Amino acid sequence: MKTDLSPRMKVALYGLMCILLIPFVFPTWWMVTSSVKPISDIFAFPPDIIPRQFDFSTYSQVFELQPFARQYWNSAYIAALVTLGTMIVSSMAGYAFARIKFPFSNAIFMVVLLGLLIPSEVTIVPLFQMFLSWGMINTHWPLILVPVFGAPSVFATFVMRQFFISLPVELEEAARVDGLGRFKIFWTIALPLAKPALGAVAIFTFLHSWNLYLEPIVFLSSTQMFTLPQALTQFTDAYGGAMWNIQLAAATMTALPVLVVFIIAQKQFVEGLAHTGLKG
């Protein structure tokens, strides 16, 4: 489809894309700008696309109304552990399923793939009971153990397997002739080559953990333990009405750091996801 376009066609395409961009970009802009508007201005008509007056007190109120720094830390360290754990578990399993011959490997792979068919929502009731009997309710263990070892990591394993299958086997064969053990081969040869796939796994695992909502509200009950998505919905007044500008300040603090990292590293981000075993 790539042909040189006429200037008129180019203008039309730019125009179309700019219009299509509005619902993608405007909400983020509106979140950031509304978070620094005084409460009297946030529902002003006509809407102020650029704030007329700034009120940064919303940002300090976020920390007064909730243990927000603690909640931020909760989300951050859980996401970091889940990402690291998933990278380890899925790259090892993916490598074994792609490269190592062992009895029943195909049958076991099919069993593991069942995880794709069984979203965590299906098993949330018994998982709650299991973690209750282990005394892990209102701890972060369920939010770490289930994603790293359970259904959410299966997709990562699948991606890693697809990647290792596509990798030329010759390098590893040479190392085997030299008498290198499997673990050495995996660690020193295969894994360094798998950086693009690992990057993609890291990105979507981090985002998945960072966005988790059902599991935290099922497993966690005290505000000290809450994760960010859960905390964001708690900024309500005595009548349950949303305190919009404070909520938006908290949302901005949640969204902006990841967004900035993404914009800096967007090339690796997008291409990592695009070229990773997801081609059917």
Partner 1 sequence: MTNLAHDISKPRRTFWTMERRDAAAGYIFIAPQLMGIVLFVLIPLGLVFWYSLHEWNVLANTFNFRGLGNYEQLLRDPALPQVLAASAIFSAGLVVFNMSLALLLAVLLDQKLRGIVVFRTLFFSPVVVSLVAWTIVWGFLLQNNGGINGLLQMVGIEGPNWLRHPTTAMISVIVVQVFKNVGLNMILFLAALQGVPKELYEAARVDGAPRFKQFRRITLPMISPTILLTSIITIVGSLQVFAQIAVLTQGGPGMSTTVLVYYLYQQAFQFHFFGYGATLSILLFLIVAVLTFAQWQMRRRLVFYEN
Residue 39 near partner 1 by CB under 8 A: no
Query: Which one among 60, 110, 213, 236 touches partner 1, defined by CB under 8 A?
Result: 213
In angstroms, what is the minimal distance from the CB of 224 to partner 1? 19
Residue 263: HSE in the Cβ half-sphere, 13 Å Cα cutoff: 5
Task: Indicate which single residue of 39, 40, 43, 80 sits in contact with partner 1 (rule: CB under 8 A).
Answer: 43
Sorted by sequence, the CB contacts under 8 Å of residue 82 that are 6+ apart come out as 143, 144, 147, 148, 205, 206, 208, 209
Q: Please say which residue, 59 or 244, places its beta carbon nearer to partner 1.
A: 244
Site for partner 1 in 124-183 (CB under 8 A): 124-130, 145-146, 148-151, 153-154, 157, 169-170, 173, 176-177, 181-183
- 3 vs 238, beta carbon nearer partner 1: 3
CA quadruple 73, 75, 78, 79: dihedral positive or negative? negative
Per the document, the length of the chain is: 280
Closest CA to 58 of 257, 260, 256, 243: 243
Considering beta carbons, is residue 56 or 214 the nearer one to partner 1? 214
Could you tell me where the DSSP H helices lie in 118-265? 124-133, 141-149, 151-166, 170-177, 182-185, 191-193, 195-211, 214-219, 228-232, 244-264
CB of 241 to partner 1, least distance (A): 11
- Among residues 140, 186, 209, 220, which is the contact residue for partner 1, using CB under 8 A? 186
Give least dist CB 97 to partner 1, A.
Answer: 7
In the list 6, 8, 45, 50, the residue contacting partner 1 (rule: CB under 8 A) is 45
**Among residues 8, 17, 50, 106, which is the contact residue for partner 1, using CB under 8 A?**
17
Give the number of other Cβ atoms within 10 Å of residue 273's Cβ.
Answer: 16
Paired tokens of 253: 């603090």
CB of 27 to partner 1, least distance (A): 5
Three-state SS at 81: helix
Site for partner 1, residues 70 to 129, rule: CB under 8 A:
88-90, 92-93, 95-97, 100-103, 105, 108, 111-112, 114-119, 121-129
| Nearest approach, Cβ of residue 54 and partner 1 (Å) | 18
Q: Is the dihedral angle over the CA atoms 67, 70, 75, 76 positive or is it negative?
A: positive
Q: Of 69, 214, 224, 236, which one interacts with partner 1 (CB under 8 A)?
A: 214
Site for partner 1 in 228-257 (CB under 8 A): 228-230, 232-233, 242, 244, 247-248, 251-252, 254-255
* 21 interacts with partner 1 by CB under 8 A: yes
Closest distance to partner 1 from the beta carbon of 56 (Å)? 19
Beta bridge partners of 242: 236
- Which residues have C-beta within 8 Å of that of residue 215, sequence separation ≥ 6? 120, 124, 142, 143, 146
Closest to partner 1 by CB, 67 or 124: 124
Distances (CA, A) of 246 to 25, 46, 51, 67: 21, 21, 15, 14
Helix (H, G, I), strand (E, B) or coil at 243: coil
